[in-house]
Amino acid sequence: TMAHSKNFLVLENFIGGKFVPCSSYIDSYNPSTGDVYCRVPDSGKEEVEAAVKAAKDAFPIWSSKSPLERSQILNKLADLIEHDLEAFAQAESKDQGKTITFARTVDIPRAVYNFRFFASSILHHVTECTEMATMGCVHYTSRAPVGVAGLISPWNLPLYLLTWKIAPAIACGNTVVAKPSEMTSVTAWMMCKLLDKAGVPHGVVNVVFGTGAKAGEALVCHPDVPLISFTGSTLTAQRITEKSAPHCKRLSLELGGKNPAIIFDDADLSQCIPTTLRSSFANQGEICLCTSRVFVQRGIYSEFLKSFVQEAKKWKAGNPSDPTVDMGALISKEHLEKVKSYVKKAQAEGARVLCGEGVDSLALPAGNQKGYFMLPTVIAEVKDESCCMQEEIFGPVTCVVAFDTEEEVIKRANSVKYGLAATVWSSNVGRVHRVARRLQCGLVWTNCWLIRDLNLPFGGMKASGIGREGAKDSYEFFTEVKTITVKH
């Protein structure tokens, strides 16, 4: 049911194993050209109702399959996506604006790995058992899938983050209704086309496309969806929490960040500078884990700043399908304006913009003149209270400031409402451990960035989220536990 009209794709909802057209549609743009790329169903209550019903109907059979049977299906789905990796990468790059290189090497391989990882990890969980010999009792825990899981994902890593939810949810035996971002729905729709072939029974995975306000909220408010896994902004999470409160739903919330990089004077700058460039600007700075506050110890501040800016200026922005391009387009015109407005505010406050927006000129290919591009932007001499140091910008903008002592930098790094991730750069092992323990965030990378073992918990503290996901954490979130006591 690949519907082409006037050069753009028309997506359909995937409900109960069938593609279903919708009565109204919204436009989704190719951020690198500004043209309409596809039309996305503008689903609401009715479509969500149908999808939840399909998921409920599929639950008894799916939840009673053995983990091994489910595991085989997840592995098959991983193989099928991997087989079409290039087509998925092309679609993700067009839909999101990210470089084809990033989509090929990060997004789609990780989506494949999400299915493989949970196909494997679901086979290895062990529940608890205790013995009370004096009472003649054993106690043990038993875990069962919860039911229909509602999964809501953002636009920055579309298939990567959606499958990070779908894979553990269905591996545990739940059925799902997923709602991807209305701005990046294409790869989710492509994945739906592979479900049948992978052996996913009808109704186990349903995808409803549309906006957060209509489709998302209908899912959050549906009484038969006891669990919501959400990745997105802190503001939306507050609304979801409010809307789901009357139903006492189980929530997993993966939210925004304002992540510091802390660079001590004994850091290996040959590693630190290229990695901090990536951690600031990869995927146009549109990763929740991106660095946006760089604290550099005073002794190396000037040296660091000089080479950091020099290297940032080498990043090439342009057509995302050109494999030599480092920086693709931002997700939308509105988002680009918002990101740029932070740079203006910083200037108005007296900060110095050292490269990028407003400083360097952006030369774009003819076909990309209307795309939503900007250059990696480095700001110095920003006050900690500035909105550029407090609010999530979610674009290729990073602030570099100096610090003197360990104690001081920990305090300053922690002085934001967010608490997702941090990087610490130092060759002093004791200091690395000491600082990592005191940072208020869910993830600390020392002398590296973005290396993940999916076995371990992922998530944030403070305004960056509630709950963790990972092998054991996702298993616990997507199952209901029961303690059973047997007296003999």
Which amino acid, 447? Answer: N
- Closest CB 307 distance from ligand NAD, rounded Å: 28
Listed in sequence order, the residues at least 6 apart from 22 whose beta carbon sits closer than 8 Å to its beta carbon are 12, 13, 41, 42, 43, 47, 209, 210
User: What residue ranges bind ligand NAD (CB under 6 A)?
Assistant: 152-156, 161, 179, 181-182, 211-213, 216-217, 220, 231-233, 236, 239-240, 254-257, 288, 392, 394, 420, 460, 465
**C-beta of 97 vs 257, nearer to ligand NAD:** 257
Alpha-carbon gap, residue 115 to 77, rounded angstroms: 7
If one counts every other C-beta atom within 10 angstroms of the C-beta of residue 436, the result is 17
Among 19, 16, 13, 17, residue whose Cα is nearest residue 43: 13
Cβ–Cβ under 8 Å, residues 399 and 294: yes
**C-beta of 92 vs 182, nearer to ligand NAD:** 182
Catalytic residue among 12, 47, 217, 254: 254
DSSP notation for 272-317: HHHHHHHHHHGGGG-STT-EEEEEEEHHHHHHHHHHHHHHHTTPPB
Sheet holding 129-132, edge to edge: 129-132, 137-145, 479-487
Listed in sequence order, the residues at least 6 apart from 214 whose beta carbon sits closer than 8 Å to its beta carbon are 42, 43, 44, 45
Q: Which residue is nearest to ligand NAD (CB)?
A: 212
Listed in sequence order, the residues at least 6 apart from 216 whose beta carbon sits closer than 8 Å to its beta carbon are 152, 179, 210, 240
Q: Phi and psi for 235 in degrees, rounded to 5?
A: -60, -45
- Closest CB 32 distance from ligand NAD, rounded Å: 18
Listed in sequence order, the residues at least 6 apart from 352 whose beta carbon sits closer than 8 Å to its beta carbon are 379, 380, 381
- Closest CB 271 distance from ligand NAD, rounded Å: 25
**C-beta of 198 vs 339, nearer to ligand NAD:** 339
- Closest CB 148 distance from ligand NAD, rounded Å: 16
Alpha-carbon gap, residue 252 to 459, rounded angstroms: 9
**C-beta of 272 vs 397, nearer to ligand NAD:** 397
Q: How far is CA 401 from CA 262, 286, 311, in A?
A: 10, 21, 17
**C-beta of 217 vs 326, nearer to ligand NAD:** 217
- Closest CB 442 distance from ligand NAD, rounded Å: 8
Among 58, 56, 46, residue whose Cα is nearest residue 20: 46
- Closest CB 388 distance from ligand NAD, rounded Å: 16
Among 146, 117, 120, 121, residue whose Cα is nearest residue 55: 146
**C-beta of 161 vs 379, nearer to ligand NAD:** 161
Vertex 205 angle, CA 21 and 36, to 5°: 45
Among 330, 293, 35, residue whose Cα is nearest residue 156: 330
- Closest CB 234 distance from ligand NAD, rounded Å: 7
**C-beta of 172 vs 240, nearer to ligand NAD:** 240
254 is catalytic: yes
Catalytic positions, written as ranges:
254
